[in-house]
Amino acid sequence: MKYLTAIMLLFCTVFTLFTSDFVLSINARAFAATIFVPKEHKTIQAALNAAKAGDTVLVSPGTYQEELHLKSNVTLKGDKTQAPVLTKTVMAVNVKNAIIEGFTVRGGTKNSHFGIVCQSSQVTIRDNTVSEFHHGISADLSAVQIVHNTIEHSFNVGIIVTIGKDMLIQENHIINNEGWGIIMSELLGECLIIGNTIENNQNIGIQCLNASPSIRENLIRYNLVGLSINKSNPDIGTTADAGRNVIEGNRNAAVENLGRDAVSAKLNYWGNPDGPEPRQIQGRVEYTPWLRQPPQMDSHPVNFRADFITTWGDIKIGRYHYENHK
């Protein structure tokens, strides 16, 4: 009888804890608020400071000259009618599940070092324009989704990832930067670079340094070098899983591999039905077979879960999947 009583007490305790957490979760969603700037708070940071988990800070059109610090589980959102302009750095430091969307983040001075900075954080950056900073978006020891943004006219690098965790870089325009489009420097997790336009960057489109992302369905053209690889083994396409990138018109090389190991870059389109010109491939790159015409870019959006460990569609790339309809 004592054992039965103890078991019943344990069951009741666990049930109470479970239902309490469930009710708290439901209440957090039910009471999520929208905080308006400048109607309710004159500054964006004041609104972020007042926000609670699940809240959205909605910013009206205008120019806001303040450095911002994002907050865990809070969405910072610009008005859809006209993107508000932020002129200073947006920072995410030690935050989880923060979102920034719908802004123009514009620097324009020699002191405009970083547009959006993520340090030891989990952040979604979507539907923004980031321009005229030394580094447009920087992610350090972070797991970040960078989706549907324009990153342009950076003085040095459009996107720089240092010791990146799980990363998604999808359907961005990374264009007209004075240096690099993307620099990937060391990865601790998986990274998928898919569906981006990376063009007219004065140096390298994508540079991999001790980093091996999966690169699919990108338009990489009119850079000094399309892809540069050093001490890395990125997956740019295999016979089983086509790369379907368009890599054309890059001035010095389409792909340069500075390492000793061969890199797979199969089933991509090189701007010519007959494949790349010999000078466009430098180092050990396995580029045959290739596509004889440009592929239809028909990847589907990738769905991230809040914990950044996710299932993406049909084709597996490590823990990452995406849908690919041939």
> Mind listing the pLDDT tens digit for each residue in 229-251?
999 999 999 999 999 999 999 99
Q: What is the pLDDT of residue 96?
A: 97
Q: What are the domain boundaries of the chain? A: 156-322
SS3 280: helix
Q: Which residues contact 14 (CB under 8 A, 6 or more apart)?
A: none
How many angstroms separate the most distant Cα atoms in the chain? 84
Give the pLDDT confidence of 182-195 residue by residue, as tens digits: 999 999 889 999 99
The confidence band for 301, taking pLDDT boundaries of 50, 70 and 90, is low
Q: What is the pLDDT of residue 109?
A: 86
How far is C-alpha 171 from the geometric centre of its chain's CA atoms? 9
pLDDT at 316 over 70: no
Distance CA 125, CA 138 (A): 11
Q: What is the pLDDT of residue 162?
A: 95
| Contact (Cβ atoms closer than 8 angstroms) between residue 263 and residue 231 | no
| Contact (Cβ atoms closer than 8 angstroms) between residue 255 and residue 230 | no
Between 17 and 218, name the one with better pLDDT. Answer: 218
Q: Which residues contact 291 (CB under 8 A, 6 or more apart)?
A: 242, 244, 267, 268, 269
The confidence band for 110, taking pLDDT boundaries of 50, 70 and 90, is confident
Cα torsion through 33, 34, 39, 45, rounded to 10: 90
| Contact (Cβ atoms closer than 8 angstroms) between residue 90 and residue 117 | yes
pLDDT at 28 over 70: no
What average pLDDT does the segment 138-156 reach? 97
Q: Locate tokens 């823990």: which residue? A: 319
